[in-house]
Structure 1
Amino acid sequence: CITIYELNNSEVSLYVWHETSKKVGSNEFTSYLIDYIRNIADSYKEVVLISDGCNYPNRNKVLSSASSNIAVEKFIVLNQLHLEKGRTMMEADNVHFTLEQYFKPTINSPMDYVARMRVARPKQPYKIEVLNYDFFFKYDDVPTNLPSLYFLHPHAHRYKSSCRIGSESCMI
């Protein structure tokens, strides 16, 4: 389960899939994140993503290339901030804690998780996307002009519709 928490309205989106059909790697992480941004981009000129400190899914060439592409496609500024691993708490952590309480009774099938997610927040229910194999895009097969990545700040990246990754004017 991957969690997105919108700070401006407290909406929570959960992307759920069975890990036997797809692993949890950069393509999977990038697929759900780009899908989410694509769905909200028409409502915002600037999007700020605050990611946990997990380096592999959050800081890689695949995600950076896709983030740059979506910024150009949707004419937005996309800022990605990385929190310090093990030293911070995010609103999504509260969502995970709530879900863990609902997962304590016996789980008989993978869909039991989804059923419990649906009732875990009665006043403002979680938006749950149950994904199948066809949802995921193989972003690492997309041609890129990024031979290597160099970021001026290890905890923040900025992608603009008018910039290419690697140019100083695009970095925070």
Structure 2
Amino acid sequence: MNPSTLKNKQKCHQNLDPKVHTKVETDVKDFLKNWLRDLPRVDSYYCRSTATYKDKKFLYQGTTISQLHREYGQAAATAGVRAVGIQYFAAVFHEENYSVVIPRKDQCDVCVSFKHGNISKVAYDAHVTKKDEARQEKSRDKDSADEEKSIWIMDLQAVLLCPKAQANSLYYKTKLQVHNFTLFNLRPQGGYCYVWDESEGDLCSEVFAHLQYHHFEGVIKGHPDLKEIIVWSDGCCYQNRNTCVANAYSELARKYGVLITQKYLLAGHTQMECDSMHSTIERKIVADIYTPRDYVVILQTARIRPSPYYVKVLKHDEFLKLNGSYFFSIRPGKKVGDLTVHDLQGVQFSSEGKVNFKLSFSEDSVWEELPQMGQWHG
């Protein structure tokens, strides 16, 4: 390689790295960073605790860097600012910690690690056994559903953005996040959608505790012969597996004299009947979306048989805070190194106020009393 060619390659490499690039004016850099900062982002709620993803700024699914660069070029021309090339644009994009790829919710770290030879066959087999046990337990619960026992599946649908349109003038404008919390009754297969946008409420544990409390309170009042409720979900801590939700279930069990059990599928293997609800809804979205009300109409008409989904739109004044608590922790251990909430496979709330837990669904597993139980704290 001759000296002139080497010099040109080094210059090209510098153009790709915004940290060493010296020929881009300050106002051009600032305009680019401010333009990126205004892009609508999607929360990756299932990766908040993962070091690789927790600080990432995920963009709406389907976004590409080339599309972004074209929109940026038009915005720069309108503002009278010089637009940088796509290579420098991409370098700044990644330096600012943006991503156009949202990691899959149902990807299993253990299975991927085994595929790449990072864990032993023994550890992988134990993982598969635990997954199969949870699936078999869920199947047994489904078969046992009757007038006295109600089996439910619940999950939060991937965020819905509004407006949603193919037109470039709308595609990258600031968007409103719409949330749809779904519950599915395995017998008789009734679907329920609780909808709100980010101006009315967020995704904190108190919101989900409120939704589950009032939903299952309605179920109990509508079925006077009901004695037991079993709820299956993934193990998302702020959504399903936390003290706030546990206190709500404990209050329901005490107040109405029913047995309520939460059960969790194994992380990475959380395919549920709610997924069919989400798929049905997404297939119905064929036209542009301009307001959250457009999503409500889609939810109401997404299914016809055996019955349409029940849809309730929630406002901020309907999200109520819990007044007091029965216990401050559902952790099965007490000190450092003991079991944590992530080890829970099931939590059970009795009408007498007892809370029991399970660490697996194997044949020899038993319900144990939660060690953190205390008195009511108001």
TM over 0.5: yes
8 A contact 1:5–1:11 mirrored in 2: yes
The answer to whether structure 1 residue 131 and structure 2 residue 314 are counterparts is: yes
1:108 offset after TM fit, Å?
1.2
User: Higher Cα Rg: structure 1 or 2?
Assistant: 2
Work out the CA distance in 1 between the residues paired with 2:237 and 2:328. 19
Aligned residues between the structures: 169
**Gaps in structure 1 of 5+ consecutive residues:** none
- Superposition RMSD in Å: 1.9
Work out the CA distance in 1 between the residues paired with 2:313 and 2:252. 23
- Alignment partner, residue 31 of structure 1: 210
Work out the CA distance in 2 between the residues paired with 1:111 and 1:68. 34
Q: Deviations over 1:132-167 (max 9, x none)?
A: 11211112xx22231332348611000011133369
SS at 2:347 equivalent:
strand
Work out the CA distance in 1 between the residues paired with 2:185 and 2:315. 24
**Gaps in structure 2 of 5+ consecutive residues:** 1-179, 334-342, 358-366, 371-378
- Alignment partner, residue 67 of structure 1: 249
Match of 1:98 among 267, 280, 304: 280
Structure 1 residue identity aligned to 2:217: R
Answer with 39-48 or 157-166: which moved more. 157-166
1:24 offset after TM fit, Å?
1.2
- Alignment partner, residue 326 of structure 2: 145
Work out the CA distance in 1 between the residues paired with 2:328 and 2:181. 29
Structure 2 residue identity aligned to 1:100: E
Match of 1:21 among 196, 200, 208: 200
- Alignment partner, residue 78 of structure 1: 260
Work out the CA distance in 2 between the residues paired with 1:49 and 1:90. 12
8 A contact 1:77–1:158 mirrored in 2: yes
Tell me which stretches of 4 or more aligned residues in structure 1 moved more than 2 Å. 147-153, 163-171
- Alignment partner, residue 157 of structure 1: 347
1:15 offset after TM fit, Å?
0.4
> Cα gap change, 1:170/1:6 in structure 2, threshold over 3 Å: closer, same or farther?
farther
SS at 2:355 equivalent:
coil
SS at 2:297 equivalent:
helix
8 A contact 2:254–2:351 mirrored in 1: yes
Work out the CA distance in 2 between the residues paired with 1:36 and 1:112. 24
Work out the CA distance in 2 between the residues paired with 1:86 and 1:131. 30
